Amino acid sequence: MLLNLARRTLKPQRTAFSLGQLKCLSSTHGASSFISATNTTPDATPKISCVLELKDSPGALHDVLKYFWKYDLNITRIESRPKTLNALGEARFDFFVDFEANDKNAPSVQSLFASLESMTTKALILDEKDVMWFPRHLSELDLIANRTLDAGADLESDHPGFNDEVYRARRGELAKVAQEYQWNEPIPYIDYTEKEVETWAIVWDRMEGLLDKHACSEYKKSFASMKEHCGYGRDSIPQAQDITDYLQGRTGFRMRPVAGLLSSRDFLNGLAFRTFFSTQYIRHDSMPLYTPEPDICHELLGHAPMFADQDFADFSQEIGLASLGASDEDVQKLAWCYWHSVEFGLCKEGGEHKAYGAGLLSSYGELEYACADYRPAGGTDDRPEIKPWDPAVASVQEFPITTYQPVYFLAESLNDAKTKMREFCENLKKPFLSRHNPNTNEIWVDRPVKRKNHPAATEMEAEVKTA
């Protein structure tokens, strides 16, 4: 839940092939082609990364790779980039190669690059880069999941449940479940109380008709399917594990329990792994149509159905991948883009404005206010400003967190929203290009990096200061 912004090693094979044959290999982020990946523990084996520029000719890559074999340097990754033309119109390809080595000045490494000098138009070693810490494997989300900016049971004095000891105890109980969860375990089943289900039903009854009228078609398709496969209905609160099982089979997304609000960086880092940090508590029953913070009605009615749509899932992951190792300034830009899209985004459909943002899809008043062409709507005669979806504008557009949004961004479609977000992310000054490997649940980057400010070390420093 985002803070509401207040191995297998491979030796080179003796097979000749042209560089052009590599163009069709799949890519995910940074417009690069993945040939082979290794290492189950990204930081475990010392490696050197280099970039080689070659002419596009049959057997060119094979002729280069044989020298890695000659000098007994084990390749762990090869990655191609799209073909370019030089000033003479000659085709060139860039290849990024990782190989196991402790020192770039080692005799074997020096001999390798001396041999490659006459065979390449460019052969450069990429120096290690210091970056902000980010998770490299799904298991490392355990290191950030409990770095909440609030505790599940510690409520503000104006919270409807502040003086309800039973409610506070329940929040503490659910917070403990989230805090004890680990990445490779099934999400624990929550036995929701009769009062909690009644609160859910009130929200469900108020939202269902409005969702049918104002939600985008992608949402309605997923919502109908989740009624059938995930236990969605007014009389029971869906379980996070059932939703995860459903999403995994469609877009590869998963839910992960969290006790409270996370920082923008930590939350967005989770999206890089197609992981959505979700609360499991529900709003106080005294005000079932109001919540001062995201709760399970917001997460499961607003967010979860959209993650079953491929374009939306890809869109969300684009933001997450761009957040890895990013500067604080760029993380804020990405978080504001997230706010104006994943939380409050609109898209065109049949000449009307439809909602795909979870903040709208879980709020009966603001959903009507943002989408209806009549007035009054959402209890007001006011009308919001509608701007075309442009991440560069959205990334600096300020917003309130306690009132209806005065500005909404309208995409031509979910695919349009994704395409423009990808273009925006590619133009950020990223310290590296990143890719998520869904088969190994790892993040690969195109150069050696040194992650600083490790979460465990930060927590230890804080404990020492307070001791």
| Catalytic entry in 362, 363, 395, 434 | 362
Burial of 449 (0-12, 13-18, 19+ CB in 10 A): buried
Amino acid 151 reads: A
Residue 4 tokens read as: 């509401």
Q: Is the dihedral of CA 290, 296, 297, 299 positive or negative?
A: positive
Task: Identify whether the C-beta of residue 199 lies closer than 8 Å to the C-beta of residue 286.
Answer: no
CA dist., res. 221 & res. 298, Å (int): 18
How many CB atoms sit inside 10 A of residue 457's CB?
A: 11
Helix-helix angle 264-271:310-323, to 10 degrees: 130
Amino acid 270 reads: G
Q: For residue 362, indicate whether it is catalytic.
A: yes
| Catalytic entry in 137, 284, 303, 436 | 303
Q: Is the dihedral of CA 209, 239, 153, 253 positive or negative?
A: negative
CA dist., res. 174 & res. 464, Å (int): 28
| Catalytic entry in 29, 298, 340, 436 | 298
Helix (H) or strand (E) holding 319: helix 310-323
CA dist., res. 437 & res. 42, Å (int): 12
Tell me the binding residues for Fe cation: 298, 303, 343
How far from each other are the two terminal CA atoms of the chain, in whole angstroms? 30
Task: Identify whether the C-beta of residue 173 lies closer than 8 Å to the C-beta of residue 211.
Answer: no
Q: For residue 284, indicate whether it is catalytic.
A: no
Tell me the binding residues: 298, 303, 343
- Using omega within 30 degrees of 0 as the cis cutoff, is the peptide bond preceding 186 cis? no
Task: Identify whether the C-beta of residue 367 lies closer than 8 Å to the C-beta of residue 344.
Answer: no
Q: For residue 298, indicate whether it is catalytic.
A: yes
Task: Identify whether the C-beta of residue 348 lies closer than 8 Å to the C-beta of residue 413.
Answer: yes
| Catalytic entry in 218, 318, 343, 368 | 343
- Strands (DSSP E) along 271-345, which ranges? 275-278
At 207 the three-state DSSP class reads: helix
Q: For residue 117, indicate whether it is catalytic.
A: no
Active site residue ranges: 298, 303, 343, 362
